[in-house]
Amino acid sequence: MKKLLILLAGIVLLSGCAEFERIDTLLAEKKAATTDVQKYNYLMQVSKGQTYIYEHSSRKPETFESIRDRYFQEAGLTEEPKIVKRDLIYKCFNKKTYPYEDFECVYKFYSKEIDIEKATRTAENQTDRLHQIRMEDAHNIAKTVTEEGGAEFTEVNIGRFCRASSRVVATAYASVVNTYHIYDLEADKIMLLGLTDKAFVRLKKKVTSDKRGIAMVRNNPQDQKIVYEAYDMLCNSNPKSYILNYKKIFR
């Protein structure tokens, strides 16, 4: 029994020495790290095989390998993109901190990235669902207008087709200055009874005469919203002149 206790004590002592040696090695590696590659490698080494324990929480402890794998699965990746590596280095590589603090930072970094990926996917799913709903609605409206030989001249229809026309016009401004479009026109083109690419090109030529509006959208692409609001106001006051494809839509 005495020999067993001595043996166990020796094992504990050796394991403690091994941990001190590991920390010394990591500190030396950290001190020598000057490039981004070296800093990233240090953060991987300091985290390798470590387990994060949540304080004052019922959540189970989790290894670094586990949370990193969860991040890859959530992001659909097999390796961190360069921008993520740079962000990790910026947030977690600090010459003044200890290895255990560095691992804690790395673990929390991946946990945050997982939350970001989940939020992004949720937003994308919502956008896709909204697009699907608008497409179904546009097809139904176009079908009804075609079958009935035109739309009724009602306040609801005027508002509906003015909004669609306003989004198309605002996007024409964005196309002229070659900036990104904030509106999805696929459903609008269907609802406006197949607004063609040629018609859109003609519209772009018309809006080039509005130098002020073009300059606004060039300086700030979000000003497409201002163009939309201005056109929508004009359209509701004079739908016959401003609803695109008016003669084809209304009976």
pLDDT in tens, 120-133: 888 888 888 888 98
Task: Determine the Cα–Cα distance for residues 194 and 187; give it in Å rounded to an integer.
Answer: 10
Residue 20 has pLDDT above 80, yes or no: no
User: Above 70 in pLDDT, residue 17?
Assistant: no
As a whole number, the mean pLDDT across the chain is: 89
Angstrom distance (rounded) from CA 217 to CA 101: 47
Task: Report the distance separating Cα 169 and Cα 176, nearest Å.
Answer: 11
**Amino acid letter, residue 125:** N
> Does 15 score more than 60 pLDDT?
no
Mean pLDDT of 215-223: 93
Phi, psi of 93 (to 5 degrees): -95, 110
Looking at per-residue confidence, does 9 or 119 come out higher?
119
Cα 54 from Cα 244, distance rounded (Å): 60
Alpha-carbon distance 160 to 141, whole Å?
A: 10
Per-residue pLDDT, averaged over 33-49, amounts to 95
Write out the two tokens for 248. 């084809």
249 close to 145: Cβ distance less than 8 angstroms: yes
**28: which 2 tokens?**
């030396």
- Confidence (pLDDT) at 11: 39
Comparing 3 with 64, the larger pLDDT belongs to 64
CA distances from 34 to 25, 80, 185 (A): 16, 20, 49
The model's pLDDT over 86-134, given as tens digits with 9 standing for 90+, comes to 999 999 999 899 999 999 999 999 999 999 999 988 888 888 888 898 9
User: Alpha-carbon distance 112 to 43, whole Å?
Assistant: 16
Q: What is the mean pLDDT of residues 236-250?
A: 95
Can you give the pLDDT at residue 13?
42
The gap from C-alpha 98 to its chain's centroid, in whole angstroms, comes to 34
pLDDT value of position 73 = 94
Q: Report helix, strand or coil for 21.
A: helix
CB-based contact 139:239 (threshold 8 Å): no
User: In this prediction, what percent of the chain has a pLDDT beyond 90?
Assistant: 73
Q: How confident is the model at residue 18 (pLDDT cuts 50, 70, 90)?
A: low
Neighbouring C-beta atoms of residue 122, cutoff 10 Å: 10
Provide the residue ranges of all domains of the chain, joining segments of one domain with +: 19-122, 148-249
Query: pTM for the complete prediction?
Result: 0.60
Cα 141-142-146 angle, rounded to 5 deg = 120
User: Rounded distance, CA 137 to CA 142, Å?
Assistant: 9
State the virtual CA torsion across 26, 28, 31, 32 in degrees, nearest 10. -110
**Tens digit of each residue's pLDDT (9 = 90 or more) over 171-215:** 999 999 999 898 989 999 999 998 888 899 999 999 999 999 999
